[in-house]
Structure 1
Amino acid sequence: MLSQAVEDYLKAIYTLHNGKPVTTSELSARLGVSSASVTNMMTRLAKMKLVTYAPYRGVALTAAGEKIALEIIRHHRLLETYLRDVLGYAWEQMHSEAEHLEHHISEEFEDRIDALLGYPTHDPHGDPIPTRDGTMEHTPADPLPACPHEQDLEVRRLLDTDHDMLHRIEALGLLPGTVFRILDADDELLVVHLDHDHISVPADVAAHIFAAPV
């Protein structure tokens, strides 16, 4: 059985990778640990054949490491969906609770909440939930400032790094699945048409909302 620390590292590497190796400094910032701790863990994970690691060149998951990372991500996103949709948790409570529970649930429990929720494909942020066999489909989306005007758009995903920002987005009614139109925009505000009303969206909020044409 893998430790929680190992699972956290594998999940972080998967989340940070963008077609290139992840650096120790990126992992250090993501996990809030020292660079020396990251280096020690990378050496350990490489010996376990869960990552490929070359000092000063970064780290990448092996097929075995990616499989574990996707399983933990599946746990996390199913738990967030359950905690929010069924138990009514707030954004910050939902995330911290899922961070703890993701390491401790059984596969049977995972399958049961998946069925209870109706086999959701996305979590409350709009992020895709990996399937049982470890596949995950990414839906293209752009931040609101880059989206076309005067066209029906659907909110696909929210950046989940700032809980206060998520509350602001929720107050505006721009959660994943919402259909709207951008009417006008400048450097400070976007004006959107939503539910027969015009809503002003500050530019800093808009940058956390990703949408795509319907």
Structure 2
Amino acid sequence: MARHVVEDYLAALYVLTADRRPVISARLGEYLAVSPPTVAETLKRLQADGYIVFGPRREIILTPAGRAVGEAVVRRHCLIERWLTDLLGLDWVAAHEEADHLEHLLTPRLEERLFGLLGQPTTCPHGNPIPGRGRPLAWATVPLDRVPEGQEVVID
């Protein structure tokens, strides 16, 4: 299986588990826009490689190794988006599309240099936290009736 496929799945699982809701194969397939048979086959491989385990209700759980890879891919993606928007002037949509390709090519050395060049950002262009360096990816989920009037929120 191609490395970029493994990385895409683990990054998706990393993002989907940030809201602490169980991730099942249907939710993962919908997120990735991939057919159920493809998801099932890929999950078998990820399990065999030690990146995931299945819980008692068939929920997908990242192992420490799977979480580490997923976090690294999401971090690279966010840093690339920040570089493309802040320094190269791309819009958010174009930056996201380009980052989807480049995230698989960025080496740890280039990631560190990019992080420094960008002034060690803590958020991506969309305002989401950049994971890594001990900072987990965590979006706050708050009921709308508890959000102060006038405060900006993202509804997902």
**Structure 1 residue 148 displacement after superposition:** 2.0
Contact persistence 1:71–1:134 (CA under 8 A): no
Within a 5 Å distance, the mapping from 1:62-81 to structure 2 comes to 62-81=63-82
Q: Aligned-pair distance for 1:27? A: 1.2
Code of the aligned partner of 1:68: V
When structure 1 is superposed on structure 2, of 12-21 and 86-95 the one drifting more is 12-21
2:42 paired with 1:41:
yes
- What CA distance in whole angstroms lies between the structure 1 residues aligned with 2:56 and 2:86? 43
Residues 163-196 of structure 1 show CA distances to partners (whole Å, capped at 9, x for unaligned) of xxxxxxxxxxxxxxxxxxxxxxxxxxxxxxxxxx
CA–CA distance in structure 2, aligned partners of residues 44 and 21 of structure 1: 20
Q: Residues 70 and 134 of structure 1 are in contact (CA less than 8 Å); yes or no, is this contact kept in structure 2?
A: no
Deviations for 1:77-116, whole angstroms, at most 9, x for unmatched residues? 0000000000000111000000100001111111111001
- Work out the CA distance in 1 between the residues paired with 2:50 and 2:14: 15
Q: Where in structure 2 are there 5+ consecutive unaligned residues?
A: none
Pair 1:106–1:36, CA change in 2 (3 A): same
Q: Distance in 1 between matches of 2:148 and 2:21?
A: 30
2:22 is aligned with 1:21: yes
Alpha carbon RMSD of aligned pairs, Å? 2.6
Matches within 5 A, 1:163-178: none
Select the structure that is richer in helix. 2
- Alpha-carbon separation, structure 1, partners of 2:78 and 2:62: 20
State TM-score, norm by structure 2.
Answer: 0.86
Tell me: CA distance 1:128–1:2, structure 2 relative to 1, closer, same or farther (3 Å). farther
Query: d(CA) in 1 for partners of 2:126 and 2:84?
Result: 13
Identical aligned residues as a percent: 37
Distance in 1 of aligned mates of 2:148 and 2:80 = 34
| 1:5 and 2:5 matched | yes
> Which is higher, the Rg of structure 1 or of structure 2?
1
TM-score scaled to structure 1, two decimals? Answer: 0.64
Change (3 A) 1:139 1:33: closer
* Structure 2 Cα separation of the partners of residues 144 and 19 of structure 1: 18
What is the CA-CA distance between 1:53 and the residue it aligns to?
Answer: 2.4
Distance 1:134 1:36, change over 3 A: farther
How many angstroms apart in 2 are the aligned matches of 1:38 and 1:139? 25
Kept in 1: contact 2:26–2:36 (CA 8 A)? yes
Q: Distance in 1 between matches of 2:137 and 2:16?
A: 17
C-alpha separation in 1, matches of 2:148 and 2:20: 27
Structure 1 residue 136: Cα displacement: 2.2
More relative contact order, 1 or 2 (CA 8 Å, 6+ apart) = 2
Distance 1:127 1:8 in 2: 18
1:190 counterpart residue number? none
Q: CA deviation at 1:137?
A: 5.8
CA deviations on 1:30-74 (whole Å, 9 max, x unpaired) are: 111111111111111111110002696121100110000000011
